[in-house]
Amino acid sequence: MQSDGLSSMLSWLRLKAEVYIHTDFQGCWAVDTSGSRRVPFHLVHSGQSWLHLPDKKPRLLNAGDLVVFPHDQQHFLSSEPHCPTKALVEETVSNTEHLDITGSITGLTCGFFEFDNPASWPLLNSLPEAIVLELNNNDQLNNTRTLLKLMISELEHNAPGTAISVSHLTHSLFIHILRSQIGSNPQQGILAALFDPRIGKALNQIHDQPQQEWTLEQMAQTAGMSRTGFSELFKELTGQTPVRYLAEWRMLQASELLRTTDLSVISIAEQCGYTSDVSFRKAFKSITGQAPGAVRRSGREG
């Protein structure tokens, strides 16, 4: 199977996922999972819930609706159309099995997506503050709906191996969410660039072969474009020049290798397209703001 730019990026950023709540709420309740510096998500798998976001009208979520917060935006999910109090959130969290037994029932599954690699990268920046997918009202999301049904089945049966199975399914869910945003035709950002038929070809090659001595002309040829046209479209989509993007991608990989392997600095430099230890160290410090040795020490301490 041929690799692609998004797969390469997610591999290096080491996406992790978990589900930490799968339960039914009844009566008056509220949930707030923001503030963790991760990417929270909520699936309403039965009943209804109100979504509260700052400076926006409450939105009613129905069974089959999935909401994701790529930038960890402040939010509440609750049983009521008015914004809940902090006390209600705390009461719900501490006493989920003994809430008011009157009223309608809402089945909720909550979890987080997280990048284990702490390197900053504009993937999440290319996504909106909140993503709501109405899975029951969109034929294009059939595969996502099937994936979620399997995840819910795993959680409810709780058979041996459930924890790792749900983790892998949730990992796949994030990829489905990204695909849904690609389908909404984003005009800018790394997703728009990855799925542009020309720029995407160049990005795939850059991601897979960072050690190659890429020139602007070679990148443009890969995309089947002139140098000028390629440079202009690349910057329009990503906000960066091709040369800067290549340098940052190389340093993302270099940082990961420094933290997770015992390879020498010169070996890492060569894997990232540098033949000189001095030029690599200079570029690394310029882009990351740290020396390679400092990144390696932080990885070992972590």
* H helices, E strands: number in the chain: 12, 9
55 CB neighbour count, 10 Å cutoff: 4
Burial annotation 69-108 (CB, 10 A radius, 16+ → b, else e): bbebeebbbbbeeeebeeebbebbeeeeeebeeeeeebbb
Instruction: Encode the chain (302 residues) as per-residue pLDDT tens digits.
Output: 556 777 777 777 778 888 888 999 988 899 988 888 889 999 999 999 999 999 899 999 999 999 999 989 999 999 999 888 777 877 776 565 545 556 689 999 999 998 876 555 667 877 889 999 998 877 778 899 999 999 999 999 989 999 999 989 998 999 899 888 876 666 678 888 988 889 989 998 998 899 999 999 999 999 999 999 999 999 999 989 999 999 999 998 899 899 889 999 999 999 999 999 999 999 999 999 999 999 998 877 76
Nearest alpha-carbon partner for 190 in 236, 228, 231, 225? 236
Residue 96: per-residue pLDDT: 53
Is residue 299 within 8 A of residue 260, CB to CB? The reply is yes
Domain ranges across the chain: 5-183, 196-301
Q: Give the three-class secondary structure for 4.
A: coil
Cβ proximity of 98 and 23 under 8 Å: no
Q: Which fold has domain 5-183?
A: Jelly Rolls (2.60.120)
pLDDT value for 98 = 45
Position 190 scores a pLDDT of 85
The CATH homologous superfamily of the domain defined by 196-301: Homeodomain-like (1.10.10.60)
